[in-house]
Amino acid sequence: MNELNLLTAIVTAGIPGFLMYVVLNRLNVLSFEINSAQLDKQVSLVFLSVVNVVMSLWIYQLYVGPIQELNTLINVSVLFGISIISTIILIVLVMLLMKFGTWLLTLVANKLNIITQDNRSTWTAALSRRPKKDEALYAILFDFDNKMIASGFVGSFSNPRNEYSLNFYGESGEYSIYEARNMYAQDKRNEQLIDYDKQVKLFLIVTA
């Protein structure tokens, strides 16, 4: 096999593998905190890229032709297109497998009466959670003096070096700490998060 053709194939098919890693990370399917081990990220990236390369080359050889003929721009473009399609398929498969794995682990943990471990921080796990289809997540933020800072529906959030930035949208009401606690107590799915470093309290309320 021509070494240049092989290198071209690996690079062409490997780029969408990196895209798959980014998408899964943004969707919190693969979630790494800022202080997560760099080795974990590298292993995940390499594994996803290798799987994408193998799947793309297998499909190419099965339906297009041998890799030895990968010496024209058209063939390289075809391989890249196959790799993009493979990436989409793999993203869906990984999401389904992770969802099934989470369900299975939760089932086993409940049977054994143990608590499962999440590699995400408490805040990331809570803010990433989405209620049912017709429900939304409403947030009310207070400081340690129980003065309301902001409120609104949770749109998105970022976590650069654990400095959380929240994006609220929709109705922004005025609430006392007692009203927030009362809303919190109405549904067991609601959550209260406390950050002692930033001295803030966040109530996450599931609303219809």
pLDDT at 21 over 50: yes
98 pLDDT tier (thresholds 50, 70, 90): confident
Residue 47 in any domain: the answer is yes
Domain hosting 135: range is 122-207
75 pLDDT tier (thresholds 50, 70, 90): confident
What was the pLDDT predicted at 159? 58
pTM beyond 0.85? no
Residues 10 and 95 in one domain: yes
The number of folded domains in the chain is: 2
Dihedral of CA 97/93/76/58: which sign? positive
Residues 89 and 160 in one domain: no
The residue count for the chain: 208
Rounded average pLDDT over 77-83: 84
Q: Tell me how far apart the alpha carbons of residues 187 and 30 are, in angstroms, rounded to a whole number.
A: 28
What was the pLDDT predicted at 160? 46
What was the pLDDT predicted at 33? 54
Residue 117 in any domain: the answer is no
For tokens 């549904």, the residue is 187
36 pLDDT tier (thresholds 50, 70, 90): low
Residues 141 and 50 in one domain: no
pLDDT > 90: what percent of the chain?
8
The domain boundary, picked from 56, 88, 112, lies at 112
Rounded average pLDDT over 194-200: 86
Q: Identify the bridge partners of residue 168 per DSSP, sorted by sequence position.
A: 154
